[in-house]
Structure 1
Amino acid sequence: MSVLLEVIATTVADARVAAQAGADRIELVTALGEGGLTPSVGLIEAVVAAVGIPAAGVPAAGVPVNVIVRPHGRSFVYDPDDFTVMLRDVRAVKAAGANGIVIGMLDANGEIDREGLARAIDAADGLPITFHRAFDEARDLHKALDVLLGFDAVTNVLTSGGKSSALHAEAALGALVRQAAGSHCTVLAGAGLTVDAVAGFVSRTQVEAVHFGSGVRVDSNALAPVDAERVRQVRARLDAARRS
Protein backbone atom coordinates (compact mmCIF):
# COMPACT_ATOMS: atom_id res chain seq x y z
CA MET A 1 0.00 0.00 0.00
CA SER A 2 1.39 3.38 -1.03
CA VAL A 3 2.02 6.29 1.30
CA LEU A 4 -0.86 8.78 1.19
CA LEU A 5 0.01 12.11 -0.43
CA GLU A 6 -1.92 15.19 0.70
CA VAL A 7 -1.33 18.46 -1.16
CA ILE A 8 -2.36 21.96 -0.09
CA ALA A 9 -4.52 23.85 -2.58
CA THR A 10 -5.44 27.52 -2.40
CA THR A 11 -7.33 27.74 -5.71
CA VAL A 12 -9.46 25.54 -7.95
CA ALA A 13 -6.55 25.32 -10.38
CA ASP A 14 -4.23 24.10 -7.60
CA ALA A 15 -6.69 21.39 -6.67
CA ARG A 16 -7.14 20.23 -10.26
CA VAL A 17 -3.40 20.07 -10.90
CA ALA A 18 -2.69 18.23 -7.64
CA ALA A 19 -5.46 15.69 -8.20
CA GLN A 20 -4.47 15.00 -11.79
CA ALA A 21 -0.79 14.63 -10.86
CA GLY A 22 -1.37 12.00 -8.19
CA ALA A 23 -2.41 13.59 -4.89
CA ASP A 24 -4.60 11.31 -2.79
CA ARG A 25 -6.20 14.15 -0.85
CA ILE A 26 -6.46 17.93 -0.96
CA GLU A 27 -6.19 20.28 1.99
CA LEU A 28 -7.94 23.47 0.98
CA VAL A 29 -6.79 26.71 2.63
CA THR A 30 -6.47 30.38 1.96
CA ALA A 31 -3.63 32.68 3.13
CA LEU A 32 -0.98 29.97 2.91
CA GLY A 33 1.63 32.57 3.87
CA GLU A 34 -0.04 32.76 7.29
CA GLY A 35 -0.07 29.02 7.68
CA GLY A 36 -3.54 28.62 6.21
CA LEU A 37 -6.86 30.23 7.11
CA THR A 38 -10.49 29.27 6.44
CA PRO A 39 -11.35 29.56 2.73
CA SER A 40 -14.60 31.05 1.47
CA VAL A 41 -17.69 28.91 0.99
CA GLY A 42 -17.59 29.74 -2.71
CA LEU A 43 -14.06 28.36 -3.03
CA ILE A 44 -14.92 25.22 -1.07
CA GLU A 45 -17.94 24.50 -3.24
CA ALA A 46 -15.97 25.13 -6.45
CA VAL A 47 -13.09 22.84 -5.44
CA VAL A 48 -15.41 20.07 -4.29
CA ALA A 49 -17.26 20.35 -7.62
CA ALA A 50 -13.98 20.26 -9.57
CA VAL A 51 -12.13 17.39 -7.88
CA GLY A 52 -14.18 16.03 -5.00
CA ILE A 53 -15.35 12.45 -4.58
CA PRO A 54 -18.20 12.11 -7.08
CA ALA A 55 -21.69 10.89 -6.36
CA ALA A 56 -22.39 7.17 -6.57
CA GLY A 57 -22.66 5.95 -10.14
CA VAL A 58 -20.54 8.76 -11.61
CA PRO A 59 -17.45 7.23 -13.24
CA ALA A 60 -15.16 10.27 -12.93
CA ALA A 61 -12.28 10.02 -10.49
CA GLY A 62 -12.26 12.23 -7.43
CA VAL A 63 -10.17 12.95 -4.38
CA PRO A 64 -11.28 13.93 -0.87
CA VAL A 65 -11.17 17.63 -0.04
CA ASN A 66 -10.39 18.49 3.57
CA VAL A 67 -10.85 22.12 4.57
CA ILE A 68 -9.03 24.10 7.22
CA VAL A 69 -11.05 26.03 9.78
CA ARG A 70 -8.78 28.64 11.32
CA PRO A 71 -10.15 32.14 11.94
CA HIS A 72 -6.84 34.01 12.25
CA GLY A 73 -3.11 33.48 12.40
CA ARG A 74 -2.45 35.03 15.82
CA SER A 75 -2.29 31.85 17.88
CA PHE A 76 -4.06 28.57 18.47
CA VAL A 77 -5.62 29.73 21.73
CA TYR A 78 -9.12 30.91 20.92
CA ASP A 79 -11.60 33.09 22.79
CA PRO A 80 -15.39 32.54 22.84
CA ASP A 81 -15.92 34.77 19.81
CA ASP A 82 -13.33 32.80 17.86
CA PHE A 83 -15.16 29.59 18.69
CA THR A 84 -18.47 31.07 17.58
CA VAL A 85 -16.90 31.81 14.21
CA MET A 86 -15.13 28.45 13.96
CA LEU A 87 -18.20 26.36 14.74
CA ARG A 88 -20.23 28.27 12.15
CA ASP A 89 -17.46 27.68 9.64
CA VAL A 90 -17.30 23.96 10.45
CA ARG A 91 -21.01 23.65 9.72
CA ALA A 92 -20.62 25.66 6.51
CA VAL A 93 -17.71 23.48 5.36
CA LYS A 94 -19.80 20.36 5.89
CA ALA A 95 -22.73 21.89 4.01
CA ALA A 96 -20.39 22.77 1.12
CA GLY A 97 -19.59 19.10 0.60
CA ALA A 98 -16.11 18.76 2.08
CA ASN A 99 -14.74 15.36 3.08
CA GLY A 100 -13.24 16.48 6.38
CA ILE A 101 -12.29 19.32 8.71
CA VAL A 102 -8.74 20.46 9.49
CA ILE A 103 -8.68 22.24 12.84
CA GLY A 104 -6.69 22.59 16.05
CA MET A 105 -6.81 24.41 19.35
CA LEU A 106 -4.73 24.67 22.51
CA ASP A 107 -5.36 26.09 25.94
CA ALA A 108 -3.19 28.71 27.60
CA ASN A 109 -1.04 25.97 29.17
CA GLY A 110 -0.04 24.44 25.86
CA GLU A 111 -2.37 21.47 26.23
CA ILE A 112 -4.95 20.25 23.72
CA ASP A 113 -8.19 22.21 24.31
CA ARG A 114 -10.36 19.14 24.84
CA GLU A 115 -13.60 21.05 25.29
CA GLY A 116 -13.03 23.13 22.18
CA LEU A 117 -12.13 20.06 20.15
CA ALA A 118 -15.23 18.24 21.36
CA ARG A 119 -17.38 21.19 20.27
CA ALA A 120 -15.76 21.20 16.82
CA ILE A 121 -16.32 17.45 16.46
CA ASP A 122 -19.96 17.89 17.39
CA ALA A 123 -20.36 20.67 14.81
CA ALA A 124 -18.64 18.51 12.16
CA ASP A 125 -21.45 15.98 12.63
CA GLY A 126 -19.59 12.88 11.48
CA LEU A 127 -16.90 14.38 9.26
CA PRO A 128 -13.38 13.18 10.09
CA ILE A 129 -11.05 15.62 11.80
CA THR A 130 -7.41 16.34 11.06
CA PHE A 131 -5.78 18.07 14.02
CA HIS A 132 -3.39 20.51 12.37
CA ARG A 133 0.03 21.86 13.36
CA ALA A 134 -1.27 23.51 16.48
CA PHE A 135 -0.14 20.09 17.70
CA ASP A 136 3.51 21.13 17.24
CA GLU A 137 3.08 23.96 19.74
CA ALA A 138 1.78 21.63 22.45
CA ARG A 139 3.99 21.44 25.53
CA ASP A 140 4.36 17.65 25.35
CA LEU A 141 3.76 16.02 21.97
CA HIS A 142 3.31 12.49 23.30
CA LYS A 143 0.83 13.61 25.92
CA ALA A 144 -0.98 15.65 23.26
CA LEU A 145 -1.17 12.63 20.96
CA ASP A 146 -2.58 10.52 23.80
CA VAL A 147 -5.34 13.09 24.21
CA LEU A 148 -6.13 13.06 20.49
CA LEU A 149 -6.19 9.27 20.42
CA GLY A 150 -9.08 9.53 22.85
CA PHE A 151 -11.22 11.22 20.16
CA ASP A 152 -12.48 8.73 17.58
CA ALA A 153 -13.27 11.52 15.12
CA VAL A 154 -9.60 12.60 14.93
CA THR A 155 -8.27 10.48 12.08
CA ASN A 156 -5.09 12.45 11.28
CA VAL A 157 -2.56 14.53 13.19
CA LEU A 158 -0.57 16.90 10.99
CA THR A 159 2.84 17.39 12.53
CA SER A 160 6.44 18.29 11.83
CA GLY A 161 7.53 16.59 15.04
CA GLY A 162 7.74 19.90 16.86
CA LYS A 163 10.40 21.33 14.53
CA SER A 164 10.13 23.93 11.78
CA SER A 165 10.79 21.13 9.26
CA ALA A 166 9.77 17.50 9.52
CA LEU A 167 13.16 16.64 8.02
CA HIS A 168 14.76 17.83 11.28
CA ALA A 169 12.50 15.68 13.46
CA GLU A 170 12.76 12.18 12.07
CA ALA A 171 13.32 10.53 15.45
CA ALA A 172 10.41 12.39 17.03
CA LEU A 173 8.12 11.56 14.12
CA GLY A 174 9.11 7.91 14.20
CA ALA A 175 8.22 7.80 17.89
CA LEU A 176 4.83 9.40 17.21
CA VAL A 177 4.17 6.89 14.42
CA ARG A 178 4.90 4.03 16.82
CA GLN A 179 2.68 5.60 19.48
CA ALA A 180 -0.26 5.84 17.05
CA ALA A 181 0.29 2.39 15.52
CA GLY A 182 -2.85 0.29 15.39
CA SER A 183 -5.11 3.21 16.25
CA HIS A 184 -7.74 5.06 14.23
CA CYS A 185 -5.35 8.01 13.86
CA THR A 186 -2.62 8.49 11.25
CA VAL A 187 0.46 10.65 11.75
CA LEU A 188 0.48 13.00 8.75
CA ALA A 189 4.01 14.36 8.40
CA GLY A 190 4.34 17.82 6.90
CA ALA A 191 6.40 21.03 6.73
CA GLY A 192 9.72 21.28 4.95
CA LEU A 193 9.43 18.06 2.93
CA THR A 194 11.05 18.07 -0.50
CA VAL A 195 10.87 15.91 -3.61
CA ASP A 196 14.44 14.68 -3.19
CA ALA A 197 14.24 13.94 0.55
CA VAL A 198 10.80 12.35 0.83
CA ALA A 199 11.69 8.73 0.01
CA GLY A 200 14.45 8.48 2.61
CA PHE A 201 12.31 10.33 5.13
CA VAL A 202 9.45 7.87 4.72
CA SER A 203 11.80 4.91 4.97
CA ARG A 204 13.38 6.14 8.20
CA THR A 205 10.24 7.34 9.96
CA GLN A 206 7.75 4.76 8.62
CA VAL A 207 5.10 7.47 8.24
CA GLU A 208 2.07 6.37 6.22
CA ALA A 209 1.00 9.84 5.05
CA VAL A 210 2.83 12.99 3.97
CA HIS A 211 1.64 16.57 3.49
CA PHE A 212 3.13 18.95 0.92
CA GLY A 213 2.69 22.69 0.55
CA SER A 214 5.58 24.79 -0.76
CA GLY A 215 7.55 21.66 -1.65
CA VAL A 216 5.33 20.98 -4.67
CA ARG A 217 4.86 24.58 -5.76
CA VAL A 218 6.70 26.46 -8.49
CA ASP A 219 10.13 27.49 -7.17
CA SER A 220 9.08 26.20 -3.71
CA ASN A 221 7.23 29.49 -3.27
CA ALA A 222 4.21 29.35 -0.96
CA LEU A 223 2.43 31.95 -3.09
CA ALA A 224 3.08 30.18 -6.40
CA PRO A 225 0.82 27.61 -8.10
CA VAL A 226 1.10 23.87 -7.55
CA ASP A 227 3.68 22.36 -9.92
CA ALA A 228 2.27 19.23 -11.55
CA GLU A 229 5.70 17.78 -12.28
CA ARG A 230 6.77 18.06 -8.65
CA VAL A 231 3.59 16.34 -7.49
CA ARG A 232 4.22 13.54 -10.01
CA GLN A 233 7.80 13.19 -8.79
CA VAL A 234 6.70 12.92 -5.15
CA ARG A 235 4.04 10.38 -6.11
CA ALA A 236 6.61 8.28 -7.98
CA ARG A 237 9.10 8.38 -5.10
CA LEU A 238 6.44 7.41 -2.58
CA ASP A 239 5.31 4.50 -4.72
CA ALA A 240 8.89 3.32 -5.23
CA ALA A 241 9.66 3.65 -1.51
CA ARG A 242 6.68 1.49 -0.57
CA ARG A 243 7.71 -1.22 -3.07
CA SER A 244 11.33 -1.34 -1.87
Structure 2
Amino acid sequence: MIVEIIATTLSEAKMAEQAGADRIELITAFQEGGLTPSYGLIASVVKELQIPVNVMVRPHSYSFVYGQDDLYTMREDIRTIRELGAAGIVIGCLTPERKIDIAALEALLEEAKGLDVTFHRAFDEAADLLQAVDVLTGYPQINRVLTSGGKTSALDAISEISVLVEKTKGTQLSILAGSGLTVESLAGFIEQTGVTEVHFGSGVRYDQDARQPIDPQKIESIKKLGR
Protein backbone atom coordinates (compact mmCIF):
# COMPACT_ATOMS: atom_id res chain seq x y z
CA MET A 1 0.00 0.00 0.00
CA ILE A 2 1.33 3.43 -0.97
CA VAL A 3 0.85 6.13 1.64
CA GLU A 4 0.85 9.75 0.46
CA ILE A 5 1.07 12.53 3.05
CA ILE A 6 0.28 16.23 2.64
CA ALA A 7 3.14 18.50 3.72
CA THR A 8 3.16 22.29 3.84
CA THR A 9 6.71 22.89 5.14
CA LEU A 10 10.16 21.35 4.81
CA SER A 11 10.00 20.19 8.44
CA GLU A 12 6.68 18.41 7.83
CA ALA A 13 7.97 16.75 4.69
CA LYS A 14 11.09 15.46 6.46
CA MET A 15 9.03 14.22 9.40
CA ALA A 16 6.61 12.40 7.10
CA GLU A 17 9.46 10.71 5.23
CA GLN A 18 11.14 9.63 8.47
CA ALA A 19 7.85 8.16 9.72
CA GLY A 20 7.50 6.02 6.59
CA ALA A 21 5.53 8.03 4.01
CA ASP A 22 5.95 6.77 0.45
CA ARG A 23 5.19 10.06 -1.28
CA ILE A 24 4.61 13.70 -0.40
CA GLU A 25 1.94 15.98 -1.80
CA LEU A 26 3.46 19.43 -1.31
CA ILE A 27 1.01 22.30 -0.97
CA THR A 28 0.39 25.61 0.70
CA ALA A 29 -2.94 26.96 2.03
CA PHE A 30 -4.07 23.64 3.48
CA GLN A 31 -7.36 25.05 4.75
CA GLU A 32 -8.26 26.25 1.24
CA GLY A 33 -7.82 22.78 -0.17
CA GLY A 34 -4.21 23.33 -1.25
CA LEU A 35 -2.53 25.85 -3.56
CA THR A 36 0.79 25.95 -5.39
CA PRO A 37 3.66 26.27 -2.89
CA SER A 38 6.59 28.65 -3.27
CA TYR A 39 9.51 27.71 -5.48
CA GLY A 40 11.83 27.96 -2.48
CA LEU A 41 9.78 25.40 -0.59
CA ILE A 42 9.65 23.07 -3.60
CA ALA A 43 13.41 23.31 -4.13
CA SER A 44 14.25 22.66 -0.48
CA VAL A 45 11.90 19.70 -0.10
CA VAL A 46 13.08 18.06 -3.32
CA LYS A 47 16.70 18.53 -2.26
CA GLU A 48 16.24 17.12 1.24
CA LEU A 49 13.93 14.15 0.61
CA GLN A 50 14.57 10.77 -0.95
CA ILE A 51 10.91 9.88 -1.55
CA PRO A 52 8.89 11.32 -4.48
CA VAL A 53 7.51 14.83 -4.09
CA ASN A 54 4.39 15.71 -6.08
CA VAL A 55 3.52 19.41 -6.14
CA MET A 56 0.07 20.97 -6.20
CA VAL A 57 -0.54 23.20 -9.23
CA ARG A 58 -3.55 25.32 -8.32
CA PRO A 59 -3.34 29.11 -8.68
CA HIS A 60 -6.43 30.00 -6.62
CA SER A 61 -9.25 28.47 -4.61
CA TYR A 62 -12.19 30.17 -6.33
CA SER A 63 -13.10 27.10 -8.35
CA PHE A 64 -11.60 24.45 -10.61
CA VAL A 65 -12.64 26.37 -13.72
CA TYR A 66 -9.62 28.12 -15.21
CA GLY A 67 -9.30 30.92 -17.75
CA GLN A 68 -6.40 31.58 -20.09
CA ASP A 69 -4.50 33.68 -17.54
CA ASP A 70 -4.82 30.88 -14.98
CA LEU A 71 -3.59 28.31 -17.48
CA TYR A 72 -0.63 30.50 -18.42
CA THR A 73 0.32 30.70 -14.75
CA MET A 74 -0.14 26.96 -14.25
CA ARG A 75 1.97 26.08 -17.28
CA GLU A 76 4.75 28.34 -16.00
CA ASP A 77 4.49 26.67 -12.60
CA ILE A 78 4.69 23.19 -14.11
CA ARG A 79 7.76 24.15 -16.12
CA THR A 80 9.49 25.44 -13.00
CA ILE A 81 8.43 22.46 -10.88
CA ARG A 82 9.97 20.14 -13.44
CA GLU A 83 13.19 22.20 -13.49
CA LEU A 84 13.36 22.05 -9.68
CA GLY A 85 13.40 18.27 -9.85
CA ALA A 86 10.05 17.32 -8.34
CA ALA A 87 8.74 13.87 -9.21
CA GLY A 88 5.32 15.04 -10.27
CA ILE A 89 2.40 17.42 -10.19
CA VAL A 90 -1.15 17.39 -8.87
CA ILE A 91 -3.66 19.06 -11.19
CA GLY A 92 -7.37 19.21 -11.96
CA CYS A 93 -9.66 21.30 -14.15
CA LEU A 94 -13.37 21.36 -14.91
CA THR A 95 -15.72 23.16 -17.26
CA PRO A 96 -18.57 25.28 -15.86
CA GLU A 97 -20.79 22.25 -16.67
CA ARG A 98 -18.71 20.15 -14.25
CA LYS A 99 -17.06 17.99 -16.87
CA ILE A 100 -13.31 17.42 -17.28
CA ASP A 101 -11.94 20.43 -19.16
CA ILE A 102 -10.15 18.55 -21.90
CA ALA A 103 -8.58 21.60 -23.56
CA ALA A 104 -7.18 22.87 -20.25
CA LEU A 105 -6.00 19.39 -19.25
CA GLU A 106 -4.16 18.88 -22.53
CA ALA A 107 -2.49 22.29 -22.22
CA LEU A 108 -1.19 21.38 -18.75
CA LEU A 109 -0.09 17.89 -19.74
CA GLU A 110 1.90 19.36 -22.61
CA GLU A 111 4.17 20.97 -20.01
CA ALA A 112 4.24 17.89 -17.81
CA LYS A 113 6.24 15.49 -19.97
CA GLY A 114 8.28 13.15 -17.78
CA LEU A 115 6.37 14.03 -14.60
CA ASP A 116 4.16 11.82 -12.47
CA VAL A 117 0.64 13.23 -12.73
CA THR A 118 -2.22 13.03 -10.22
CA PHE A 119 -5.67 14.41 -11.06
CA HIS A 120 -6.84 15.88 -7.77
CA ARG A 121 -10.20 16.20 -6.02
CA ALA A 122 -11.63 18.48 -8.67
CA PHE A 123 -12.68 15.01 -9.82
CA ASP A 124 -15.16 14.81 -6.92
CA GLU A 125 -17.01 17.85 -8.23
CA ALA A 126 -17.57 16.31 -11.66
CA ALA A 127 -21.23 15.77 -12.55
CA ASP A 128 -20.60 12.12 -13.51
CA LEU A 129 -17.62 10.40 -11.86
CA LEU A 130 -17.68 7.36 -14.13
CA GLN A 131 -17.72 9.53 -17.24
CA ALA A 132 -14.89 11.62 -15.78
CA VAL A 133 -12.74 8.58 -15.08
CA ASP A 134 -13.35 7.35 -18.64
CA VAL A 135 -11.95 10.65 -19.92
CA LEU A 136 -8.88 10.44 -17.68
CA THR A 137 -8.03 6.88 -18.71
CA GLY A 138 -7.50 8.30 -22.20
CA TYR A 139 -4.42 10.20 -21.03
CA PRO A 140 -1.47 7.84 -20.35
CA GLN A 141 0.41 10.64 -18.56
CA ILE A 142 -2.15 10.64 -15.73
CA ASN A 143 -1.24 7.94 -13.22
CA ARG A 144 -3.86 8.33 -10.52
CA VAL A 145 -7.01 10.09 -9.37
CA LEU A 146 -7.28 11.49 -5.86
CA THR A 147 -10.89 11.04 -4.79
CA SER A 148 -13.27 10.71 -1.90
CA GLY A 149 -15.84 9.11 -4.19
CA GLY A 150 -17.74 12.35 -4.61
CA LYS A 151 -18.50 12.60 -0.88
CA THR A 152 -17.02 14.85 1.79
CA SER A 153 -15.44 11.80 3.41
CA ALA A 154 -14.17 8.72 1.60
CA LEU A 155 -15.63 6.67 4.46
CA ASP A 156 -19.09 7.61 3.21
CA ALA A 157 -18.29 6.53 -0.34
CA ILE A 158 -17.12 2.95 0.03
CA SER A 159 -19.41 1.66 -2.73
CA GLU A 160 -18.51 4.52 -5.09
CA ILE A 161 -14.79 4.06 -4.56
CA SER A 162 -15.10 0.29 -4.99
CA VAL A 163 -16.74 0.88 -8.38
CA LEU A 164 -13.94 3.28 -9.39
CA VAL A 165 -11.27 0.77 -8.34
CA GLU A 166 -12.95 -1.93 -10.41
CA LYS A 167 -13.44 0.39 -13.39
CA THR A 168 -9.77 1.40 -13.50
CA LYS A 169 -8.39 -2.15 -13.32
CA GLY A 170 -6.27 -2.83 -16.38
CA THR A 171 -5.71 0.89 -17.01
CA GLN A 172 -2.82 3.15 -16.06
CA LEU A 173 -4.93 4.86 -13.41
CA SER A 174 -4.79 4.10 -9.72
CA ILE A 175 -7.45 5.29 -7.31
CA LEU A 176 -5.82 7.33 -4.54
CA ALA A 177 -8.41 7.49 -1.78
CA GLY A 178 -8.39 10.47 0.54
CA SER A 179 -10.41 12.79 2.78
CA GLY A 180 -11.85 11.69 6.09
CA LEU A 181 -9.66 8.60 6.51
CA THR A 182 -8.32 7.82 9.96
CA VAL A 183 -5.82 5.34 11.30
CA GLU A 184 -8.65 3.46 13.02
CA SER A 185 -10.86 3.21 9.93
CA LEU A 186 -8.17 2.38 7.39
CA ALA A 187 -7.94 -1.42 7.57
CA GLY A 188 -11.67 -1.90 7.04
CA PHE A 189 -11.77 0.72 4.31
CA ILE A 190 -8.98 -0.94 2.33
CA GLU A 191 -10.61 -4.34 2.70
CA GLN A 192 -13.96 -3.06 1.45
CA THR A 193 -12.70 -0.92 -1.45
CA GLY A 194 -9.54 -2.64 -2.69
CA VAL A 195 -7.59 0.62 -2.93
CA THR A 196 -3.80 0.35 -3.06
CA GLU A 197 -2.97 4.03 -2.48
CA VAL A 198 -4.19 6.24 0.36
CA HIS A 199 -3.83 9.97 0.98
CA PHE A 200 -3.72 11.62 4.40
CA GLY A 201 -3.80 15.27 5.41
CA SER A 202 -5.54 16.22 8.64
CA GLY A 203 -5.91 12.52 9.47
CA VAL A 204 -2.24 12.30 10.47
CA ARG A 205 -2.19 15.56 12.42
CA TYR A 206 -2.80 16.09 16.10
CA ASP A 207 -6.53 16.26 16.87
CA GLN A 208 -7.13 15.58 13.14
CA ASP A 209 -6.82 19.34 12.67
CA ALA A 210 -5.22 20.87 9.56
CA ARG A 211 -3.81 23.65 11.74
CA GLN A 212 -1.90 21.20 13.93
CA PRO A 213 1.50 19.57 13.29
CA ILE A 214 1.93 16.08 11.85
CA ASP A 215 1.90 13.25 14.39
CA PRO A 216 4.58 10.84 13.11
CA GLN A 217 3.16 7.98 15.18
CA LYS A 218 -0.01 8.07 13.10
CA ILE A 219 2.00 7.64 9.89
CA GLU A 220 3.94 4.77 11.47
CA SER A 221 0.64 3.10 12.44
CA ILE A 222 -0.70 3.48 8.91
CA LYS A 223 2.42 1.90 7.42
CA LYS A 224 2.14 -1.07 9.80
CA LEU A 225 -1.37 -1.71 8.51
CA GLY A 226 -0.08 -1.92 4.95
CA ARG A 227 2.55 -4.53 5.61
So what's the TM-score if we normalise by structure 2?
0.99
Q: Secondary structure at the match of 2:226?
A: helix
Q: 1:84 maps to what in 2?
A: 72
Q: 1:152 maps to what in 2?
A: 140
Structure 1 residue 162, shift from structure 2 partner = 0.1
1:144-172 Cα distance to aligned partner (Å, 9 max, x none):
00000000000010000000000000000
Residue type at the aligned position of 2:15: V
Structure 2 CA distance, aligned partners of 1:238 and 1:32?
26
Aligned pairs (5 A) from 1:17-96 = 17-51=15-49, 62-96=50-84
Which stretches in structure 1 are left out of the alignment for 5+ residues? Answer: 52-61, 240-244
Structure 2 CA distance, aligned partners of 1:225 and 1:123?
33
Runs (4 or more) in structure 1 with deviation over 3 Å come to none
Residue type at the aligned position of 1:139: A
Structure 1 residue 11, shift from structure 2 partner = 0.4
**Partner of residue 162 from structure 2, selected from 150, 159, 174:** 174
1:56-86 Cα distance to aligned partner (Å, 9 max, x none):
xxxxxx2100000000111000111111111
**Partner of residue 132 from structure 1, selected from 120, 126, 134:** 120
Q: 1:111 maps to what in 2?
A: 99
Asked if 1:122 is matched to 2:110, the reply is yes
Q: Secondary structure at the match of 1:7?
A: strand
Q: 1:227 maps to what in 2?
A: 215
Residue type at the aligned position of 2:165: V
Residue type at the aligned position of 2:14: R
Structure 1 residue 198, shift from structure 2 partner = 0.5
Asked if 1:218 is matched to 2:206, the reply is yes
Mean Cα deviation higher: 148-157 or 115-124: 115-124
So what's the TM-score if we normalise by structure 1?
0.92
Q: Secondary structure at the match of 2:66?
A: coil
Q: 1:185 maps to what in 2?
A: 173
**Partner of residue 196 from structure 1, selected from 164, 181, 184:** 184
Residue type at the aligned position of 2:115: L
Q: 2:2 maps to what in 1?
A: 4
Structure 2 CA distance, aligned partners of 1:200 and 1:99?
30
Identical pairs, percent: 51
Q: 1:56 maps to what in 2?
A: none
Alpha carbons 1:198, 1:238 under 8 Å: kept: no
Residue type at the aligned position of 2:6: I
Q: Secondary structure at the match of 1:196?
A: helix
Residue type at the aligned position of 2:180: G
Structure 1 residue 226, shift from structure 2 partner = 1.3
Residue type at the aligned position of 1:11: T
Count of aligned positions: 227
What RMSD over aligned residues (CA atoms) do the two structures have, in Å? 0.7
Q: Secondary structure at the match of 2:183?
A: coil
Residue type at the aligned position of 1:157: V
Structure 1 CA distance, aligned partners of 2:41 and 2:6?
14
